[in-house]
């Protein structure tokens, strides 16, 4: 069923794929979106998830003999 709000098409709902859902994984379907609006929503969701999910990540690397990030090393 298509839902419109002031000529703007809204998603009809969120569906969770139950077959593959676990405590740490879920596949969700949200549709339909206006043309191009899926990218907008997807980018916002990606940014929120990246800033909210805790974990370990490399933030800096120091290599002997390298003064700046554009220096080339032989054999690398």
pLDDT of residue 2: 66
CA separation for the pair 60, 45 (Å, rounded): 26
Q: Which residues pair with 38 in a beta bridge?
A: none
- Does residue 60 fall inside a structural domain? no
pLDDT of residue 47: 93
pTM of the model: 0.51
- Does residue 35 fall inside a structural domain? yes
Q: Quote the number of domains for the chain.
A: 1
- Does residue 64 fall inside a structural domain? no
- Does residue 20 fall inside a structural domain? yes
- Does residue 58 fall inside a structural domain? no
- Does residue 72 fall inside a structural domain? no
Structural domain of 28? 3-52
Query: Which DSSP string corresponds to 8-59?
Result: EEEP-EEEE-GGG--SS---EEEE---TTHHHHHHHHHHHHHHHHS------
* pLDDT, mean of each 10-residue run, the chain (76 residues): 69 90 89 84 90 84 84 79
Q: Which residues pair with 3 in a beta bridge?
A: 10
């Amino acid at each position: 069923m298509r839902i419109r709000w002031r000529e703007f098409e809204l998603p009809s709902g969120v569906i969770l794929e139950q077959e593959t859902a676990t405590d740490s994984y879920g596949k969700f379907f949200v549709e339909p979106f206006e043309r191009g609006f899926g990218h907008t929503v997807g980018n916002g969701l990606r940014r929120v998830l990246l800033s909210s999910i805790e974990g370990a990540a490399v933030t800096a690397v120091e290599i002997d003999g390298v003064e700046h990030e554009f220096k080339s090393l032989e054999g690398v």
